[in-house]
Amino acid sequence: MNSADRPGAFESRRGLPADLEFSELVREQLRQLGEDPDREGLLRTPERVEKSLKWLTRGYELSVESVIGDAIFDEDHHNMVIVKDIEMYSLCEHHMLPFFGKVHVAYIPNGKIVGLSKLPRVVEVFARRLQVQERMTEQIAAALMEVLRPQGVGVVIEAAHLCMMMRGVEKQNSKTITSAMKGVFLEDLRTREEFLRLSMINGVLG
């Protein structure tokens, strides 16, 4: 991972000390908003915000290789594998407001399969960062292609963005859908259509 991907990798600007404590930055934000950071309800807010943001952006400290580990197995299986409706929570990098929804991931093995639980973990690597949905969709697909070397990968993300729902245009029922197709999912129309159809329908489990 490039060190510039990690929080704290860039120099402080606008005259703020580079070693200023995170909690002090939050206290200053509260003051700028017209609040009193010393009132009872806000005394521990800077500490809570720091812990919360570090948790929500912990993906900077993760890698696809580490979350998959040794859970790649030789298997003569050449049909589509889909894990759908993976819950996803991320932060929009433009307003630092949440966007959330579901991720559908499919791949066609080329002699190797991955433990099913590892696909949601790969999603977490990229979701738990400051993100835009378009880039995250591409990153998940590209990472799986690199690690698994399958015949192809397909990723679809459906998400609601609070930056559109609680500010700006304030459209409560809008949903953003993005996709990334690699290998046979990009090259073969029938494969792509099968994936999209299976992703968008409710299965026997609801």
Q: Are 136 and 93 in contact (CB under 8 A)?
A: no
**Model pTM?**
0.87
**Which is the catalytic residue, given 104, 124, 131, 161?**
161
How many whole angstroms separate alpha carbon 171 and alpha carbon 160?
Answer: 10
**Which is the catalytic residue, given 124, 131, 133, 139?**
133
**Which is the catalytic residue, given 35, 61, 95, 138?**
95
Contacts of 33 (CB under 8 A, 6+ apart): none
Catalytic residue check, 163: yes
Catalytic residue check, 124: no
Q: Residue 8: its pLDDT value, please? A: 54
Higher pLDDT pick, 49 / 6: 49
Q: What pLDDT digit, counting tens, does each position of 143-162 carry?
A: 999 999 999 999 999 999 99
The percent of residues in the chain predicted with pLDDT above 70, rounded, is 88
Q: Give percent helix, percent strand, percent coil of the chain, each to the nearest 5.
A: 40, 25, 35
Task: For the chain, give the number of residues.
Answer: 206
How many whole angstroms separate alpha carbon 105 and alpha carbon 83?
Answer: 5
Q: What pLDDT digit, counting tens, does each position of 92-102 carry?
A: 999 999 999 99
Q: Residue 11: its pLDDT value, please? A: 54
Q: Are 136 and 90 in contact (CB under 8 A)?
A: yes
Mean pLDDT confidence for 49-78: 95
Residue carrying the six token digits 């017209």: 34
**Which is the catalytic residue, given 92, 104, 124, 131?**
92
Q: Residue 30: its pLDDT value, please? A: 95
Q: Cβ–Cβ contacts within 10 Å for residue 84, how many?
A: 18
The tokens describing 53, both together, are: 């943001």
Q: Cβ–Cβ contacts within 10 Å for residue 164, how many?
A: 19
**Which is the catalytic residue, given 24, 93, 134, 187?**
93
Ordered domains of the chain (ranges, CATH): 3-56 (1.10.286), 71-200 (3.30.1130.10)
Mean pLDDT confidence for 194-206: 75
